[in-house]
Amino acid sequence: MSSGLPLACPPRSEWYEEPEKKKWGEKVSEAVLSLYRSLPKKGKPQGQETTVVAAFLLSSPTQGLEVVALGTGTKCIGGSLLSPTGDVVNDSHAEIIARRSLLRYFYAEIERLDRIHQTSRDDVGFADASNSAFGLDTSCCGQTKYRMNPGWGLHLYITQPPCGVFSYPTLQPRELAVQADLSAKIGGSVGGAESNGCQNGKSQIKEIDHSSSDYPQISTIVQRKPGRGDTTFSMSCFNKITRWNVVGVQGALLFHILQPRSFHVVGSPILYMVGTSQLLIVFNFSSSKKVDKQTETLRRWWRGEEANCGAAESRTRGGAVGPIPSSTKGVVFFFLVLLVLVAVISRRWMDDSTFSVISSWREQAPRLRSHHPQPRPVTLTCPNHTTTPMHCCGRTITPSPSSSPSAPATSGTEPPPSCPDYFRWIHEDLRPWNSTGITRKMVESARQFAAFRLLVIGGRVYVDQYHRVFQTRDLFTLWGFVQLANRYPGRLPDLDLMFNCEDMPTVMADGYDTSHPPPPLFRYCKDDSTVDIVFPDWSFWGWPEINVKPWEVLREEMKEANERMEWEKRKPYAFWKGNPTVSGHRKDLMRCNSSGGHDWNARVYAQDWVKEIENGFKDSNLAEQCIYRYKILVEGRAWSVSSKYILACDSPALFVTTHFHDFMTRGLMPGRHYWPIREDNQCRSIKFAVDWGNKHQEKVQAMGKEGSSFILEEVKMEFVYQYMLHLLTEYAKLLRYEPTLPENATELCLESVACGEEGRVREFLMAAMVKWTSDSEPCTLPPPYSAGELEQLRSRKADAIKQVEEWEQEAWEEEH
């Protein structure tokens, strides 16, 4: 071995630290994808488009993670588009983009540290470099270089295996013979220091005759990758990653001031099988019967058993490669040796060994690619009231032991299914700001309507409370935001929004257009004349003032109630119970009770909440009201919270004409999920519905099942949280500014919301609390409606209602 460029200094076993794969991989994945999702929508794939994400991360001795470089991309230009002047970026695959960003980070960090050391030498103030991943080292070969400090690690995350995995061809003697010709045609040795095609500042790229008989064999010398139009001779990402991990990711120029740095790959099946570049050399050669001395030396080198500061030289078939004085040539030379070693493996070994590896990889790939996060427990510990303030949000979600029997089973390996169809209305609710985005001024203009301002910054939730609202609507709504953050830790993007907790929608559509967009305001409902952004109401987490339990609890009770009594055995009437004083339509409904010898088939009751509270809510158990064949829904001042409880009984729901929509009722279709009732003649309409249903029991039972299935399955809390996540994510993409904390904002967490509450409020908060983080990806948000689809949807609803009204009118005319 001749002296020259150091290949590895210090030994690889000292500067390559492989963390615990499984848990560490999850942390890395969450950190990268959380950052990616927080980026603006512009430039990201939309609709059916896809991309690859790659990122480099640094891990500190305390196991903290920081994403220092991130890139996306799947394209590289074809060989026909290569520029002789080097002014075109050839390779824009995600791994390459991320590595370019990483080098910028290296330069910036070394420049910063150099300034710090210069400041210290000049005794001008004090600068701290203790939190840097790099430090000066003078112990290697008499050279002063920066190195990565002990305990720090570098990691590469990729969302799919890099291109070129397992695709090395087997070279035939004739194919090897054209290697020299290829080298001449592309201006240098294959994969060598001059393979960029430039020498002495002049282009050395010569046109290759694609029609030549030698051309097909040329492709087997250098691993090709797909281009936009034709194939390219750019080295595959797998090969590049291999090279980076052999000679260091820092490259030849930085090598003069930075020691070689390897990295740990996360996100590809390669990691879980044998670990990055070992797959190319060690793993493949381990099953070959022709392992020679050079191969064994390389294997020991990968294990850190042999490392020195010398340069390498070797002979390859077809010619000798002598000592290389250039540091750049020396770095690339070692990688060339590796490529030649792989190329000369026998075809028999490739057939017997490589294909078995591919088969093994295919079996493991779905599991490894999915990156399903493991569920982690969410716990609440309230501090001592006398010693610790209630607003303490230092709690962290700790990983759950894998052996915990109470942990929910992790989801399968299938990709996330599409969300329920009503999720498509998210796009419609945000449409007023699609072309303009949302500015800070727009958000603050909604303050006049808002009860509170909610912000998410760095995954933490904050609130600026403007005023309290009726009962505990705001408290339980804020509790819902906290549960969402705990269910999907790190998934909430930075955002800033205003929230109104009243009944009636506020922001009218009239008076606003693209040149003057409306103020974005979140609330529980809207109608066709308003543009409020609809969000799940507080009752999903409980309504303690009237003893309505959290939806997750009540949903199970309603399912059990449906099973206790068959539909045929239920009372053959339509039932409603509630507060009739809040709207004229409810007062009209009270006239439909049986009176004067005339029975409208309705049993309606006024709810006296004062007496009910005194009676301990004994007569207001919603699960015990599924004893009638039909349930009536009639709106109050605005939408009715009761819609989910009425639909949950698998008795057909009779909807008196509705004018308001919450986030999920827009997914209901009259004639399928419910029976429409005329608001201008409720009693007659209810009587016809009950009479018709009792005569067509099979059809109305099917309608009842459709309604209950929709609310019990498509609006279970899992989907409620996913709706919230998708809505907030899409909203955040529209923000045209970085949210900052208002002066009076306080942090929201389990402790700050729940620990100061007592009685039924505290009981319901605890019952609605998320116990585990999600172990699966949220459902896939379906695309927005087209104008034609929206028109078709409205027509279908109108036609279904018209059909029922015609049946009703015909029946009335026959009787009279």
CB 763 within 8 A of CB 549: no
Instruction: Extract long-range pairs of 796-803: CB within 8 Å, 24+ residues apart.
Output: 796/669, 797/669, 797/670, 800/669, 800/670, 800/671, 800/672, 800/676, 801/670, 801/671, 801/676, 803/671
Distance (Å, rounded) from C-alpha 574 to C-alpha 535? 30
Q: Which residues, listed in sequence order, are joined to residue 513 by a DSSP beta bridge?
A: 516
* Cα-based distances in Å from 221 to 173, 191, 259, 280, 384: 12, 10, 31, 16, 71
What would the 3-class secondary structure string for 586-627 be? HHHHHCCECECCECCCEEEEECCHHHHHHCCCCCCCHHHHCC
Distance (Å, rounded) from C-alpha 298 to C-alpha 408? 45
Distance (Å, rounded) from C-alpha 324 to C-alpha 314? 11
Amino acid, res. 547: N
Amino acid, res. 157: Y
What would the 3-class secondary structure string for 780-812 be? ECCCCCCHHHHHHHHHHHHHHHHHHHHHHHHHH
Annotation marks residue 95 as catalytic: yes
Amino acid, res. 141: C
At residue 510, the 3 state secondary structure works out as coil
At residue 679, the 3 state secondary structure works out as coil
Structure tokens at 382: 């309230």
Which listed residue (95, 109, 751, 757) is catalytic?
95
Got the DSSP string for 191-217?
A: TSTTTTSEETTEE------TTSTTHHH
- Residue 772: DSSP 8-state: B
Q: Residues with Cβ < 8 Å from 611, sequence gap 6 or more?
A: none
CA trace torsion 425, 799, 694, 664 (10° rounding): 10
Distance (Å, rounded) from C-alpha 538 to C-alpha 551? 10
Which of 605, 470, 480 lies closest to 538 in space, CA to CA?
A: 480
Which of 27, 29, 16, 64 lies closest to 267 in space, CA to CA?
A: 29
Amino acid, res. 167: S
For the chain, give the number of residues: 816
Q: What ranges make up the beta strands (E) of 390-525? A: 452-457, 460-465, 495-499, 522-523
**Cα Rg of the chain (Å, integer):** 34
Distance (Å, rounded) from C-alpha 735 to C-alpha 160? 30
Q: Which residues are catalytic?
A: 95
